[in-house]
Chain A
Amino acid sequence: MVVTNKSKLVALIAGTALIFGVAAYGFLFSTRLEPVTSLSVSTDGRYVVSAHEDAKLVLWDLEQRKREVLSESANLYSAYFIEESDAFLWQDLDNVVRVQRVDGEVIEAFEHFPTYGHVMSRDREHYLSANQTWNIYHGHGEALRPVLRDSRSPSFTGTGQVLNLSLGGRYFVSGGSGSPGGELEDSPPVREEEEFRFSSSYGGVTLWSLDTLAPVAKLPGNSSKTYATISPDGQWVVSGDENTIGLFWHTDSPRDRHRMASYNHGILLEDLPEGLEENEYWDKSQLIPVPESSQPDKWGSIRSLATPTTVAIAFINGSEEFLRIGYAHYESGGMSRTYAALFEAGNPWPQAYLDLGTDPFPSVNDYSRNLSIDSAPEANLLVTGHAFEGGISVYRYDPEARTLTKEWVGR
């Protein structure tokens, strides 16, 4: 009799545990987020808005450390915080773009084409958006006006990434793939469809005027998938690409191209003839050591843990400093290349290498998700998505100590 009661008790406990377990799993499953495809940080560093692979739109309150799912039908590449504002942009899957405050108030809503990246100036005067085929438009509705529409290629489908847009001062910058070819005079950015070029003259890094909406300068020199951004004060354009090339320009003299130093070999000196000793091509004067793996990898090499193959660039200290973030996969045994290079604007030499960590692994493994990395330069905040799940990692940069600390992992 006693045995029977004991068995019943065990069965009851086990049953209850099972029910709770299933319920908990179900709850977790229902609230689970898919990986971030785009995110944006408010200028004050208080909020992050993110769009996820399952089309959820999430508002994260970094101060309260909580999140709220705002929509389950958001365009994957549409999460964008307007600078110095408590309002953000997002687009739903019915293609309505909303300008919405963090308290939920919708300031503005308009129908638009499906965007693959969009930005808005703080006065909401300028709304710039890119489509799947990397054409750029200004405004919306009746006032919609093409800024760049000379080809259907490169495209999101072709390159596997969006055309990155960024605002700074009276400029905006676009960058996506390779080097823009030809001279400005010979390449009208807007063409009739029957005169479309096979490949756009503006797929590479381009500096545009926010006032005239015309190109100010083509900024050539990059290769393959390219990320470019402009400093918040509009003084510096910086770019990094899949091919390992890092470049920067001052917007006052955009014809003067500067190379960032190769992490291992220094600054490549330009215009030297072939046939010199290899060392003569490089200025190594201010190189700093690159973090390396403590063990050899499976091929026997001690590897650099910072890679110049660039997936994103983020200003982290006003317009003074930025992080050049490498494209990396998770690799076991401490082999992942998760160190970002810290640069000062206008200085070609890496100043430090700062680790983004591997747990959770940041969203640096996919060019099509390079909008999932953003910063609040004035607040010294960097936020990334995660490679394999739907959370975000929030890092704080200390300009004095030049360190990067992971402050919070939101899931």
Chain B
Amino acid sequence: MSDTLAPPALQPSRSSASGSRLLAHCCVSVTVLIEHRDTLGRPLPEGTQVELCDISRRSYTARIDADGVSRHEGVTPGKVAWQLLGCEGRHLVDVDDEPCDPRLAAAAPPECVVAADETTLRAIYLPPPILVNLREDVGAASPVLLSDEQLEQLRLAGNNATLFLHGYNVPYGGYRHFANWEQRDDVTERPLLVPSGSARIATVRQETEGVSILVSSQTRGNHYAPSYQANPDQREAFLNGSAAHNWCLHMEYRLNSAAGMTDDDWRPYTRIVGVAWSGDTGAVDFFQAELNAMAAGRRLVALLSQLHEAGIAINVISHSLGARVILTALNILGEQGRYQVLDNLYLWQPAVADNALVNDPTQDSHPLGMGVFPDAHKAVRKAVVLLSQEDGILGPPPEGTRSFWQQVAEKVNPAMRGMRWALETFGADDWLDELIGTAGGAYGKKWWVFPSGLSTPIAQYYDDKAPADTVRPPVAHQPPVGPDPYGRERAARGWQAFREQAIQEARDALASGDVLPTYHLLAPLAHHAVITEARAAQYVDSLQALVARHWRAGKMPRAALGHVGFEEVGKENPLIERKLGNKTFDFVDQTLWLFDHSGMRIPSEEVFEKSYKEGIYDRIKESSRFGRYE
């Protein structure tokens, strides 16, 4: 008989934690060593507590040592399971070279058999998620940078970083929990260990099918309110985080899937770098959201520089108004002479003007010069626009897509159009987006939709900043008597003061020596690194002219880049045509398969195949990498 099959040595009887005596023959004890590493080979942080549960449901807690090992002594032979206490985002993907689904492992941790005297288990976890918070409310003064550990994580994971920037009206949000064993249809028995605390926090996407979640109705008074099964939208909200967190975990999962990861084996899973910014200004204040986007873009410069200087390849995916964040950062980098910092830029349904990437500022249609990022193209090797004319937010759908009879019916009876609007709006997945969209669209909220579209947000913005009688013109005396009855002189003085203050702000910023000073009066020009005095004066002149024209813009508006792509711009701007010709600019027309502005968050099979795989991943692969995927 070999040693391994020999019966374990008997040990003396001992007391259990509750004081009861355990008989000697039950008290064979095992020392369990667990090596905890992440998929990048790094030991998990020293000091992290690990709770191990044995067949008798006793728990043995130990701390991970400097080598990444937790040592659990006195464990009853047989099955064990464990969980990490307080190490959020490290999800188990492999035990002893056997891959496991981290979502199942978080509901019913894998059970391993341990035998005396000592058993060593090897556990591999995902590295933690990386979410960078560029929001105004987290201390705008200090630069937002990655920690050394995060940089190391990116270095080890293929020496590249894929950033994702969400769009308009996305709050910060948070993570939610993994579905527990009772909620999963595929777990029928209570597991040895039911995870709790941080081990339940889900930082990866979960399926909303195969899960049953009971929701209790709100009780009203003494009335009994029964529980009911959550619908798919509610399950999504329970499982997959909210707001920016929700976007990031969906995007991360789909990119990994597009790169070839399957749900059977999560070991190649690569973390993206999520970037949150203050785009949630309410459904109507698109202008303020644009200013916030530019402020976030300025803050993003430090992060991009950090990655670039660390030699980490950078790819960026932005959605909707997130395009303004990244284009601001790139324009600043371009102005600073830092070229080709990004390998690939993917602008998904970008809510910026179709000529945003031209190099000629005179082609800007925006009355205040916010439309064009003339130096942005210099800071990126390749830019790909993913557009759709059917996204419902950035512009009207192409003509001729509705059937003849539908069009006739709508012509004859305008109420039909209203009905279609209502159906499309409230039948859509993201009804808020749709509601904004149909009422003119997030992009449609821009200055050109109504002649005075810019007046309210700009007046509000300058309420506590600009001199009186400027952006809010003086009101005439009633009746118009006395000196300066129409306030023209007051207005002239106000504008003169405004101009001087703006020039002073520019002068002070220059004098401060700060490479990226913060602007207040000149915030709409924040996509430029430094604003010269001349540009400041010109800006105030433009604003004064705009107010004098009752907010009517001098030039016709541009279509959104995410709606029409480069079709028109290529004709007007040879740079765009050249970039298209040498393939440093590219686009994917998704009109035939992307029917929702945010349709990539929870993609159809077609969107996944055509946009994620062929549109993004295959292109990343041409000149860069995503994680360690080949």
CA distance A349 to B388 in the complex (A): 31
Contact A245 B557 (CB under 8 A): no
* Distance in Å: Cβ of B526 to nearest Cβ of chain A: 26
Cβ < 8 Å to A, chain B residues 602-628: 606, 609-610, 613-614, 618, 621-622
Q: Which residue of A lies closest to B558 (CB)?
A: A299
The yes or no answer to B57 lying at the interface (CB within 8 A) is no
Stretch with Cβ within 8 A of A (4 or more), from B457-465, B517-525, B586-594: B586-594
Binary B-proximity of A286-328 (CB < 8 A = 1, otherwise 0): 0000000000100111011001110000000000000000000
Q: Does A235 contact B (CB under 8 A)?
A: no
B583 touches A304 (CB 8 A): no
A184 contacts B by Cβ under 8 Å: no
Stretch at the interface among A114-122, A151-159, A377-385: A151-159
- Is residue A223 contacting chain B, with contact meaning CB distance below 8 A? yes
Given contacts A278-B574, A282-B574, A299-B556, contact A245 B581 (CB under 8 A): yes
Q: Would you give the shortest CB distance from A278 to chain B, in whole angstroms?
A: 5
* B399 close to A330 (CB less than 8 A): yes
B581 touching A154, Cβ below 8 Å: no
Which of A181, A259, A304 makes the CB contact (< 8 A) with B581? A259
A268 in contact with B399 given A199-B618, A278-B575, A279-B574 (CB within 8 Å): no
Given A330-B400, A332-B399; A299-B577 close (CB under 8 Å): no
If A259-B581, A330-B400 touch, whether A299 touches B568 (CB-CB below 8 Å) is yes
Pick from B400, B578, B614: contact of A281, CB below 8 A.
Answer: B578
Q: Given A278-B578, A329-B400, verify A153-B613 contact (CB < 8 Å).
A: yes
Question: Given the complex, which residues of B lie within 8 Å of A274, measured CB to CB?
Answer: 339
Given A157-B609, A282-B574, A366-B592, decide whether A300 and B614 contact each other with a Cβ distance below 8 A.
no
Whether A331 sits at the interface, judged by CB under 8 Å, is: yes
In the complex, the chain A residue whose C-beta lies closest to that of B556 is: A300
Contact B568–A301 (Cβ < 8 Å): yes
Closest Cβ neighbor of A154 among chain B residues: B614
Is A262 touching B581 in the complex (CB atoms < 8 A)? yes
B139 within 8 A of A: no
Q: Which residues of B contact A259 (CB under 8 A)?
A: 581
Q: Which residue of A lies closest to B592 (CB)?
A: A160
Candidates B389, B559, B583; contact of A243 at CB < 8 Å:
B583
A299 touches B400 (CB 8 A): no
The answer to whether A224 touches B260, judged by C-beta atoms less than 8 angstroms apart, is no
Residues of B within 8 A of A158 (CB): 609-610, 613-614
CB contact under 8 A between A244 and B589, given known A198-B260, A199-B621: no
**Min CB distance, A190 to chain B, in Å?**
21
A268 touching B260 by the CB < 8 A rule? no
* Cα(A332)–Cα(B398), bound, Å: 10
Query: B130 contacts the other chain (Cβ, under 8 Å)?
Result: no
Indicate if B411 sits at the interface (CB-CB under 8 A). Answer: no
Bound Cα distance from A264 to B580, whole angstroms: 13
Whether A224 and B587, one on each chain, are in contact in the complex, defined by CB atoms closer than 8 angstroms, is yes
Chain A contacts for B581, CB-based, 8 A: 244-245, 259, 262, 268
Q: Which of B571, B586, B622 contacts A224 (CB 8 A)?
A: B586
Task: Please tell me if the beta carbons of B610 and A159 are within 8 angstroms of each other in the complex.
Answer: yes
**The 9 A-B residue pairs with the shortest CB-CB distance in the complex, in nearest-first order:** A300-B556, A330-B400, A268-B581, A329-B398, A158-B614, A278-B574, A265-B574, A264-B571, A223-B583
List 7 contacting pairs A-B, 8 Å CB cutoff, sorted by A.
Answer: A154-B614, A178-B618, A243-B580, A281-B578, A300-B556, A309-B567, A367-B592
